[in-house]
Structure 1
Amino acid sequence: MIEFSEFVLRVLFASGCGLVVGLDREIKGKPLGAGAYVLVAIGSAALMTVTLSFALSSMAEDAAISIDPTRLIQGIVGGIGFLGAGAIMSPSDDGRLKGVRSGAAIWAVGAIGIACGLGFLKEAAFISALIFIVLNFFDWLHIRNINKK
């Protein structure tokens, strides 16, 4: 079973990682605000940690019980897909979709939460930094292309 202090650490770490990505999107006025990113990270980490703790405690009590926490990962990823779809707006006049990067970012923040929930905090920090870099690189490219026109 996962101790409460470890649960708190994992969820708080996930919220901080989600905030890194969310503030970037919030400052740039993107479809999903910082709160959405933080909440997805918190929810994913909390669900994953509680499920993992439940699985560990159940198996310790009865070795015949088989619980597969990876099934929760599938549910989290699918559920976050709905949020990502909500971030994607209808096609603009130029035929391009808007909000696709924000939709992908909210989905990627779910991966941060899952990693934190499983205790992979270094990996979650790396994912957060990589998402931040990728979003800023493509925002920079977008701005550069607009200025060329």
Structure 2
Amino acid sequence: MHWSEITLRLGAATLAGGAIGLDRDLRGKPIGLKTLGLVSLSTTTVVLLALQAADPGKFTDAASRVIQGVLTGIGFLGAGVIVRHGDRMQVRGLTSAACAFFAACVGIVCGAGHWPIVATALVLAFLLLTFGNPIERWLHRTLGGKHDPGKVDQEPRTEPDQSSEAGPHQPGR
């Protein structure tokens, strides 16, 4: 594999993961551009290593094992952004954890060089992240779900949504 192809794959993974992280950061969530950019870059790096060790054009058992290990390990990062809020059984951070997993998957696909899959997955992810909450609220109201996510039935929050020692993730900080 040539340097230009390696740079393309690593760069695309970093940008894709960073874009997912930027969405989370702009929504005040506990995971951001740098974290998900690094997740995607990391997974692409190990996939490229596994592919470099294989015969040109072949997807080997070693690459499959690397991908399995990455997807298992990413759960630990995801678990770190999921928190239980207060005494209630209210959980926060599941979407951010799912975004970490998605960034890892995008990194794997970038490493494998399957650009149509990367582009399609990113478009669908951003549609879901952008329009998911309004659609969910509408469906709850329409179908009469147990809990209307749009209805405020909890005490006002006094602490920030962030769970970072460095403070809130804010662009420019």
Matched, 1:112 2:73: no
Q: Which is helix-richer, 1 or 2?
A: 1
Q: Aligned equivalents of 2:126 and 2:109: distance in 1? A: 17
Q: What is the letter of the counterpart of residue 41 of structure 2?
A: I
Question: Using a 3 Å threshold, how does the CA distance of structure 1 residues 123 and 52 change in structure 2: closer, same or farther?
Answer: same
Matched, 1:138 2:132: yes
The 10-residue stretch of structure 1 (93-102 or 36-45) with the greater mean CA deviation from structure 2? 93-102
Identity of aligned residues (%): 33
Please identify the structure whose Cα radius of gyration is greater.
Answer: 2
Question: Using a 3 Å threshold, how does the CA distance of structure 1 residues 93 and 136 change in structure 2: closer, same or farther?
Answer: farther
Question: Using a 3 Å threshold, how does the CA distance of structure 1 residues 143 and 31 change in structure 2: closer, same or farther?
Answer: farther
| 1:62 corresponds to | none
Q: Aligned equivalents of 2:134 and 2:7: distance in 1? A: 36
Calculate the TM-score normalised by the size of structure 1.
0.83
Contact 1:15 1:39 in 2 (8 A): yes
Q: What is the letter of the counterpart of residue 33 of structure 1?
A: G
Runs of 5+ consecutive residues of structure 1 not aligned to the other structure: 60-65
Which of these residues, 73, 78, 82, is aligned with residue 79 of structure 1? 73
| 1:11 corresponds to | 10
Q: What is the letter of the counterpart of residue 130 of structure 2?
A: N
Once the two structures are TM-superposed, the CA of residue 142 in structure 1 deviates from its matched residue by: 6.8
Calculate the TM-score normalised by the size of structure 2.
0.73
Q: Aligned equivalents of 1:68 and 1:54: distance in 2? A: 8
1:82-101 residue pairs with structure 2 within 5 A? Answer: 82-101=76-95
Runs of 5+ consecutive residues of structure 2 not aligned to the other structure: 139-147, 153-173
Once the two structures are TM-superposed, the CA of residue 129 in structure 1 deviates from its matched residue by: 1.8
Contact 2:50 2:62 in 1 (8 A): no
Once the two structures are TM-superposed, the CA of residue 18 in structure 1 deviates from its matched residue by: 0.9
What SS is found at the alignment partner of 1:97?
strand
| 2:160 corresponds to | none
